[in-house]
Each structure stands twice: as C-alpha cells, then as structure tokens.
Amino acid sequence: MPTLAITGSPAVGKTSVSKMLRNIGWDVVSVSQLAEDFDCVGDYDETMDSQEIDIHRLSEMFECESNKQVIIDGHLSHFLSVDGIVVLRCQPDILRQRLMMRDYSAAKINSNVEWEFVAGTWAEIVEFEIDQPILELDSGQLAPEQIANAIIRWVREGLPSTDSPASIDWLENN
C-alpha cells in the first residue's frame, strides 16, 4: 500500500483532495499533526503568520507504519519518506484569489504566489535530490474530484514518474 505526499503551495487544494481520498478509505495525516506527534514544531513566524516545522528532523524520525494507503497532506510533505509525490500547482492569478479569500496578509500572499510562479516545490525536490515518482497536476484546471481520480489511476498504474521536473511552467506561459 503506497504512502503518498500531496504537496504544493498553500491553497492549491491539498487538503480538499486529501479529504476526498479519506472518504474512500485512505488514511490521511497532515504534516502539522506529524510535527506535533514527533515534537518537531518550531517557533511561530509572525511575518508569515505560520508555525515553523523542523522538517529535516521530522523526516529523520517519521516512518509510515500503515497497512493502508496513506496520504501525507502538507506543503512540506515531499521531504518525508514516501512512495510517491503529488505536486499540485495552480496558476498564480487563481492562487492569489484563493489566498485573498483566506484573508492572508499581503506579504504572505505575495510570498506564496511568487513561490508558485518559480516552481518552488520543484526547486526543493531537485535541490535535495528527492527521487520518488512524481505526479504533477494543475488544480486551477482540474476539480478536486478529477485530481483524486488522477491520483487513484496513477497508483493503479504503478506510480509512473514524469521524465522532467516542473512540466507546468507559469513563466513560459506569460
């Protein structure tokens, strides 16, 4: 049974997709919950209005011990030991609207939109030489149900990976 990370910028739909998969029998755990469970919660970052997580320590401590299909939901989940990584992307203008609806500060919105624009998650995957199979999906074009179905198909196909990182390129399309 695979353990998958669902990662990407805030507001790309990680939790919505994870809830759908939970409803059909997957176990779902958030990176935040794992950080609490393994005492890897850091200081509160007032500028970004978020709790810091020592993801490197968590990645050393966490090992999935489930006999079910597991989703790890969170924008740092790609750093954990998993069988495959789902990278959700979202067109920056759509992402900006979603973040505004969450009442994020202007600084937090701009930081997250910039991160998405430059494929920040992919940059981390490449920099840290993360070598799990990866499925990249555009949540601005696909509904959560479609994304959940694509993940299920991907698992059934044996987690085939894309040949090149970041097939979605917002810079090229602008």
- Mean pLDDT across 68-82: 95
- Domains of the chain plus CATH, in order, are 3-156 (3.40.50.300)
Q: Considering the chain, what is the average pLDDT of its residues?
A: 92
Q: Which of 84, 92, 90, 102 is nearest to 154 (CA)?
A: 84
pLDDT tens digit string along 30-70? Answer: 999 999 999 999 888 887 778 889 999 999 999 988 888 99
Q: Reduced to 3 states, what is the DSSP secondary structure of residue 162?
A: coil
Q: Does pLDDT of 174 surpass 60?
A: no
The four Cα atoms 127, 133, 138, 144 give a dihedral, to 10 degrees, of -130
